[in-house]
Amino acid sequence: MDSCCAEGHTHSGTIQGSVSTIAGRPAYVAKSPEYHGKALLLLHDVAGWESSNNRLLADYFAAEMKALVVLPDFFDGDAVPASLFSIPGSFDIQAWVKKHSNKRDDFRSMVHVVEALKTEHGASSVGVIGYCWGGWGTLELGHTDLVKAVAVCHPSLLNMPRDVEALKQPALFLCAEKDQVFPQETSRKQAEEILKPKDLEYKFVDYPGTSHGFAARGNPNDEVVQKAYLDARQQAVQWFNHYL
């Protein structure tokens, strides 16, 4: 992970969902009154489950997909403070990552959440979307038959090329132009080259004028970035509405 993972802007809006527990973890839950079995697991960025930005995304997806969206806490309350996002270099992201790099345990928890969506919340089809830190877990779930589609926005902590090679489910990649963590000229290019010969539905959308983090905490006052943020949300909705 790079220092860009701990930078960004706070978005405004009214939170619509509620706080609950799923698979033993605190979670923000946004549920459409028209929910009939379509569910989405939102894997947060470093800002964690209490981030207003992430909760607003959950609300949006629930409304637009007529779905149940859950945003669990995978940091055990130790997210990067949003107050530090506007102060570049103020947070030691590398030291923080060392405390949150137990992928085996985290992935097991993600699986339990998906299973709980099906057994306890009536989900008949589940998708996963991951932002930054949540990208690796999203692709890992895409290696299984537990979910029907995945989407990642400027993903981090990927094990390339394995994480892409092992994909079994339709995958959407929403990519920043400038991204030290998932660079256009290396990881992003490699990912598409891996998927081209596979018998798997996939899509890459690149956003000129954007940097890592734009889809979760981009500057709403930057016209180019805000347009990309809104389009990335809609791309994800269209993807999941098609496959779930």
Q: Which residues pair with 150 in a beta bridge?
A: 128, 171
pLDDT at 2: 46
Average pLDDT in the 111-127 region?
98
Is residue 8 scored above 90 in pLDDT?
no
The tokens describing 244, both together, are 């779930």
The tokens describing 139, both together, are 């692709």
pTM for the whole thing? 0.92
Sequence ranges of the domains in the chain: 3-243
Average pLDDT in the 10-19 region?
89
**Could you report the per-residue pLDDT of 28-56, keeping only the tens digit for each?**
999 999 999 999 999 999 999 999 999 99
123 or 85, greater pLDDT = 123
pLDDT at 3: 43
Specify the range with the lowest mean pLDDT, choosing from 85-89, 171-175, 227-231: 85-89
3-243: CATH topology is Rossmann fold (3.40.50)
pLDDT at 84: 56
Mean pLDDT of the chain: 92
Is residue 93 scored above 90 in pLDDT?
no
pLDDT at 4: 44
**Could you report the per-residue pLDDT of 174-224, keeping only the tens digit for each?**
999 999 999 999 999 999 999 999 999 999 999 999 999 999 999 999 999
HSE, side-chain direction, 13 A CA sphere, residue 154? 28
**Could you report the per-residue pLDDT of 145-159, keeping only the tens digit for each?**
999 999 999 999 999
Dist CA 180 CA 217 (whole Å)? 16
DSSP code per residue over 104-148: HHHHHHHHHHHHHHHHHS--SEEEEEEETTHHHHHHHHTTSSS-S
58 or 85, greater pLDDT = 58
Q: Which residues pair with 39 in a beta bridge?
A: 68, 126
